[in-house]
Chains A and B, each alone.
Chain A
Amino acid sequence: MAAAADAVEFSYFPGCSLATSAKENNRSLMKVCRKLGFKLVELEDWNCCGSSSTHSIHSDLAFHFACRNLSLAPAGRPLLVACPSCMLRLKQAQLHLQADPDARRRYERMWGRPVDTNLSIIHFFELLDNGFGAGSNPKLQAALKGLRFAPYYGCMLTRPPAMRHEKSYHGLLEKVLGSFGAEPIGWGHPSRCCGTFLSVAKPAVVTPMVNQIIQGAVDAKADCIITACAMCHLNLEIRCSLKTQLPIFHFSEILSIALGMGIKKSWLMRHLVDPLPLLKIKGFLEKAAGG
């Protein structure tokens, strides 16, 4: 595990979910980043990325929402994105700007400055995709010992054809958490969509989707599901109608335990499926810092 002496700076785009319903994801992610020597500077006055609803009914509006965010990013500092869906929107807008001179003209007319088409936009996973893990430290290697988890990426790994050449983070949850002693289970639903926004208008469609995912993890004898996305986390928690429900953790929360910083009570109390019994059994709770 490498800890940089000088903090590397990033502009940080949390997105609507992490700023509100998934604050525990936001806080644990910031904490983990600090520990790893990354300094996140929240993108000043960021707006909704234009995801799901907006691009569903107004492509143009979604494009300009994404562009405003890109226009706010200071030059020379990579833009770090926490949510897979926001990542896709911002990246797609950038690809569009790179490929289409007319899109660049529209951007410049709107924001009165040239586009920085070389702005580096990266997902949180990228920070961990350099062999990051417990390394040869025996204490770290045992930090998550005894935890059987279902790695759940949702649609983090799926992309439109224009982004086929972008890097895939398939297997990252398993690799990273596995190095800390957790045991990833093999199962059939790591990339099954959680149902996203249909959860509000069509719960009757989303509940069977969520049930199938959670039942898959139960059948594979997982203790919990670990998600890459805040939206997935919410849907898995609110739309499961099974008798046996599994605790759902954000990747960043589990990383916080792995790195010896414990898991905060203020994060846990925001979970709808109580994770306390599992954490107690596994002995992860005594490491929990208060607050």
Chain B
Amino acid sequence: MVSMQPQDIIRINASSGPVHSGVISRVVERSGTDIRRCFHCQSCGGGCPVSQAMAYRPNGVIRLLQLGQVREALQSSDIWYCIGCNTCSMACPQAIDIAAFMDVMRQMAIEEGVPLAEPDILAFHREVVGSIHRYGRTHKLEIMMRYKLGQRDLFSDIDLGLRMLAKRKLDLLPSKISDQRAIKRIFETCGVKGNGRSR
């Protein structure tokens, strides 16, 4: 059995810049779930429907934090591919709320300003949040069109979009709430702008 020597850990840390001390407790506090309980049984990744698109898988992202490789974790594509389906949480013998952990990882990645692995997924999320800012609900057609415009990718789904329009799966006009002020107040209180970015 190969045992890890202290100098190995130092080397791993050195490769990722300064160790972010206390990062794990910050993640635990924000997510409300104790990732320190993870003993790396890998049940999470085993059932994860998007694990094939991930580099580390959920327990691997937790491991990166434990090893002090915070940047690697925040820059991973894994945190963006997680769709929060909770399949992992059902399998986790330590009852870790992995979806909540991933929410916090995404939010920390944005706040820290690290290069993001999947900026297009973030762009989509921001379009959805922007739609709620405008209408209080999501307006799918506009979200899809604005997203595609932003990606300068107008044609990849155009036949699908037309089929959906023909079948009336996409409404031309949004479904709106009347108390727009209440929604604006929520955004204001949370420090989020109409484009889905933080103030």
Chain A residues packing against B (C-beta within 8 Å): 16, 19-21, 23, 45-48, 52-61, 64-65, 68, 88, 110, 154-155, 157-162, 164, 191-193, 195-198, 200-203, 205, 208-209, 234, 238, 269-272
Collect the chain A residues with CB atoms within 8 Å of residue B182's CB.
47, 68
Collect the chain A residues with CB atoms within 8 Å of residue B149's CB.
none
B190 touches A64 (CB 8 A): yes
Binds A, one of B16-24, B68-76, B160-168: B160-168
A196 to B81, CA, bound (A): 11
A57 touches B49 (CB 8 A): no
Can you identify 17 A-B contacts, CB atoms within 8 angstroms? A20-B139, A20-B170, A20-B175, A45-B179, A53-B129, A88-B86, A154-B85, A158-B85, A158-B89, A160-B100, A161-B95, A195-B49, A200-B147, A203-B156, A208-B52, A238-B160, A269-B168
B96 touches A161 (CB 8 A): yes
B83 touches A196 (CB 8 A): yes
A160 touches B99 (CB 8 A): yes
A154 to B178, CA, bound (A): 32
Collect the chain B residues with CB atoms within 8 Å of residue A110's CB.
185-186, 189
A115 to B129, CA, bound (A): 25
Contact-residue bracket for chain B: 35 or more
Collect the chain A residues with CB atoms within 8 Å of residue B198's CB.
58
B121 touches A19 (CB 8 A): no
B50 touches A20 (CB 8 A): no
Interface membership of B42, Cβ < 8 A: no
Asked whether A192 and B137 contact (CB < 8 A) given A20-B175, A110-B189, the answer is no
B157 CB contact (under 8 Å) in A59, A61, A203: A203
B121 touches A201 (CB 8 A): yes
A197 to B83, CA, bound (A): 7
A16 to B126, CA, bound (A): 17
Most buried by B among A161, A202, A208: A161
A272 to B162, CA, bound (A): 11
Chain A residue with the shortest CB-CB distance to B124: A201
A57 CB contact (under 8 Å) in B87, B107, B160, B167: B107
Collect the chain B residues with CB atoms within 8 Å of residue A195's CB.
49-50, 83
A45 to B137, CA, bound (A): 10
Chain B residue with the shortest CB-CB distance to A19: B175
Chain A residue with the shortest CB-CB distance to B182: A68
B83 touches A159 (CB 8 A): no
Interface membership of B171, Cβ < 8 A: yes
A140 to B194, CA, bound (A): 52
B187 touches A61 (CB 8 A): yes
Residues of chain B from 86 to 117 with CB closer than 8 A to chain A in the complex = 86-87, 89-90, 92, 95-97, 99-100, 103-104, 106-107, 110
Asked whether A59 and B104 contact (CB < 8 A) given A195-B83, A198-B81, the answer is yes
B122 touches A272 (CB 8 A): no
Q: Give min CB distance, B96 to chain A, whole Å.
A: 7
B125 touches A238 (CB 8 A): no
Chain A residue with the shortest CB-CB distance to B79: A56
B128 touches A54 (CB 8 A): yes
Q: Give min CB distance, A260 to chain B, whole Å.
A: 27
